[in-house]
Structure 1
């Protein structure tokens, strides 16, 4: 105990011995109750102060939802931006992965670590910084190299966050740029997973070839879905004495 119950004061010698000066000063700044009494456990989630496993589960679920809402960037993009985002010609898996990254829904290491998952929060590429959306997709040297070496040739150093980057991409109102950016994000995520789970090595040229192949696949898909163009049939008056109608194209 850090409180002398008889003298009703902090045990200064013990506190100064155990804690750092700044922490000790913070402890001493906490006023002690004037009435004394015995400390009791009280659970704030219920009216009677009694803890139950159900109340504990509901409390943890509330914390998880609050963390997800605070990390989500969905509300920062207006509905028109999202409409343009989903109308992109990129492959569906590229758009979905990119959307999950913007909304903070990818299982990145920092997010897992925050939720008490036993995982090293370091970046899967460089391991020098914590792995979050801003770092893995923009600030990591590997990501910077990929963006600059891609057809977009973007220097992402000027962007303060992943959200700011996507706000700028959507503001360009260029479907080709949007589709390529979505595909690059997917390729970075795919490369990261191979490094983390398959002990692979990051090869920028391989990532760029993957981007090119997915963009080509999206183009082939669009061509296959395009409606075939047929010339309308034109009726012509039958020749005198003829018994058949002729259709000319």
Structure 2
């Protein structure tokens, strides 16, 4: 059996490529459920929470398909982190130990020093113990943005700059500010 490379595919566009028009169309077509956000009380599409939860659950369970675990499972890929090109890419490395990502956390999250954590679980536990729902939500959203940036680099060769990450985080957080879509 020959292993095929994974490809990113946006199922809401006929050509499989994401663009603003298809993203907006997707949002307009989704049923919006009344989900109370801990910080704003705004309505948020259930699909947003499902996608976000899926990644967070995989991060915490240690089953996000990053390079090192894929290599252990017999997939012939390079293990090195696509961001720093120094260490092997594990979930914990990708989210809290990669020197590139550590800088992003510090700048974007207002001085948060994630390099003091050795695992994602330690980071999340500390954040949730602070009882600051807005901070917890922003951290989880930022993990999603890191995962997206990683996939853009791995699958499309697109380098990500800090300004792009900030803009993407604002878009990810935007469902909390959206008014209900009929």
1:1-249 matches, within 5 Å, as: 91-92=48-49, 93-220=51-178, 223-224=179-180
Q: What's the Cα RMSD here?
A: 1.9
Q: Which residue of 1 aligns with 2:11?
A: none
Q: How far did residue 181 of structure 1 move?
A: 0.5
Alignment partners' CA distance in 2, 1:151 and 1:130: 25
Alignment partners' CA distance in 1, 2:72 and 2:161: 30
Question: TM-score, with normalisation over the residues of structure 2?
Answer: 0.69
Alignment partners' CA distance in 1, 2:53 and 2:139: 10
* Residue-by-residue CA offset, 1:114-150 (whole Å, 9 max, x unaligned): 1111011111211211111111111112211111111
Alignment partners' CA distance in 2, 1:214 and 1:201: 19
Alignment partners' CA distance in 1, 2:38 and 2:137: 6
Alignment partners' CA distance in 1, 2:141 and 2:38: 11
Alignment partners' CA distance in 1, 2:133 and 2:140: 10
Cα pair 1:145 1:204 within 8 Å, conserved: no
Alignment partners' CA distance in 2, 1:114 and 1:219: 42
Q: Which segments of 5 or more consecutive residues in structure 1 lack a partner in the other structure? A: 1-86, 226-249
Alignment partners' CA distance in 1, 2:148 and 2:170: 14
Q: How far did residue 153 of structure 1 move?
A: 2.8
Cα pair 2:66 2:89 within 8 Å, conserved: yes
Q: How far did residue 88 of structure 1 move?
A: 6.0
SS at match of 1:224: coil
Greater relative contact order, per chain length (Cα 8 Å cut-off, separation 6+): 2
Q: Which segments of 5 or more consecutive residues in structure 2 lack a partner in the other structure? A: 1-36
Name which one, 1 or 2, has greater alpha-carbon Rg.
Answer: 1
Q: How far did residue 217 of structure 1 move?
A: 2.4
Q: How far did residue 172 of structure 1 move?
A: 1.4
Q: How far did residue 152 of structure 1 move?
A: 4.1
Q: How far did residue 103 of structure 1 move?
A: 0.9
* Residue-by-residue CA offset, 1:68-95 (whole Å, 9 max, x unaligned): xxxxxxxxxxxxxxxxxxx767841223
